[in-house]
Structure 1
Amino acid sequence: MPLSEHEQRLLDQMERALYAEDPKFATALEGTGLRTYTRRRVYLAAAGFAVGVALLMGGMIIQPQQIWLSVIGFLVMLGCALLAVAGWRKHPVVGPGTNLRAAPPARRKASVMDRMEQRWQRRRDEHDGL
């Protein structure tokens, strides 16, 4: 569920404040460890997928009674493929001027209530800025 515009602005403001107060800590939270972990997880999933292929083929070649080996190989392949796809998704890059959302959500045409809420929010922002 994407954040509302107000929540996104608050989050951006908190990020800027964190970078202003403690840039070293904020840089440590940028996610280099997360990227390394994700990359390692994708590589392990690819290796597991290869093992699943070997089990699948081995179960088919060895004996027809070893069908359970092929089923296990297929399940290993499926699990590793899901793990790799889940790990391959782009993670947000956090920086002092970046937006946490990787891509903006698809916007539908604004309804009357959405426009009223936007006007109300602009008035509140203008009032806070005074």
Structure 2
Amino acid sequence: MPLSEYEQRVLEQMEQQLTSDDPKLANTFQGRGGTSIRRWLLCGSGALLGLAVLVVGAATSQAWLGVLGFIGMFISVVLAFSPPRRRGPAGVVGADGSVRGRPSPQRGPKRSSPGLLARMEERWDKRRDERGQ
């Protein structure tokens, strides 16, 4: 069941507020689910090739070849466990598939409504005042 226009607007506002409040958390949620199998295969084969070069260098008593093999293995493992670089457009993808960039900072006085926590604090204070505490 698709969201109504109001629900889509509220969701977009929540996304924008999350992005502006805590961009690191927003990037974590927008990250991809995991690394691709192709990346794992390439890094695994690089590590195995580095191990083979290391063994050949040790078997032939050529230290420089063993060092090159170790460096190759190390780089492959680091690449396998490092987060992939992001590709593609940065921004928020709308319901129609269009990509919008980050909202530009507003010039002049800010006209947006207070945040969720501010509204909840106002409601709490209002309830406390009504009870006479």
Tell me, yes or no, whether TM beats 0.5. no
Higher relative contact order (CA 8 A, sep 6+): 1
| TM band (smaller chain) | 0.3 to 0.5
TM-score (norm 2): 0.40
Q: TM-score, normalised by structure 1?
A: 0.41
Query: Higher helix fraction: Structure 1 or Structure 2?
Result: 1
Which of these two proteins has the greater Rg computed from alpha carbons? 2
